[in-house]
Amino acid sequence: MVTIKHGYTFLLTVILISNVLFTQNVFAQQVSSKYKHELKKFMKFIRNTEFKQYDTLKIYPYLSNKNLFMISLFGTGVYGLSNEEKTYLIKEIQSDTAKYYFNRHWMKNVQFVPQNQKDGWRLSKPIFLRNYLLCAFSFATPYDPDFASQWTYLYKKENGKWSRLLLMGKILGY
């Protein structure tokens, strides 16, 4: 009798854990696939606009928010964003510093620069807001001992097309 009771308890526990894991996994995949889908479209837009002058774009093989988005969270750069959206941006910029490795399908004509070299553009992860209708994105020039600069813009999507909305912040070396 004790064995049967333990057996039921074990079975219920397994079912419960499986259920939780399955539900979370499905949810994660939904979020992830939507993000990946929007990311691919956005990166294609960035390649064709911000970097259109480069036949071959030299970049690091990952997206990372580390040391990007400088001075972008105050002043005119956050015009129109709610306090909740600003809080979300701060969280994403300051907490999400993990590298997201680049997929070659995101952009055409890119050349990956080894991480120990300093001649690649640094790109942030796109941070989407308002159900993928706004996006904050930051990028910095290849390392130059004297003139390295970085820009952060807010982009908007209208009728399925991205365009620049406003400058959020920039640091220029001159």
Instruction: Return residues touching another protein (CB under 8 A).
Output: 67, 69-76, 90, 93, 140-141, 143-150, 169, 171-174
Smallest separation (angstroms) from another protein to the CB of 53: 19
Closer of 17 and 119 to another protein (Cβ): 119
Smallest separation (angstroms) from another protein to the CB of 170: 9
Closer of 15 and 172 to another protein (Cβ): 172
Contacts of residue 66, defined as CB under 8 A and 6 or more positions apart, other chains included, come to: 97
Closer of 39 and 127 to another protein (Cβ): 127
β-partners of residue 153 are: 137, 167
Q: Which residue has the tokens 């997929």?
A: 103
Q: Which amino acid is at 103?
A: N
DSSP structure string for 63-112: E--TT-STT-SSGGGGTT--HHHHHHHHHHHHH----EE--TTSSSSEEE
E strands, 37-106, in order: 57-63, 100-101
Closer of 39 and 73 to another protein (Cβ): 73
Smallest separation (angstroms) from another protein to the CB of 11: 51
Q: Which residue has the tokens 């820009």?
A: 151
Smallest separation (angstroms) from another protein to the CB of 109: 24
**Torsion angle of alpha carbons 128, 129, 133, 136, nearest 10°?**
-50
Closer of 30 and 76 to another protein (Cβ): 76
Smallest separation (angstroms) from another protein to the CB of 106: 23
**Tokens at residue 152, please?**
């952060």
Smallest separation (angstroms) from another protein to the CB of 145: 4
| DSSP three-state, residue 107 | coil
Closer of 52 and 91 to another protein (Cβ): 91
β-partners of residue 139 are: 123, 151
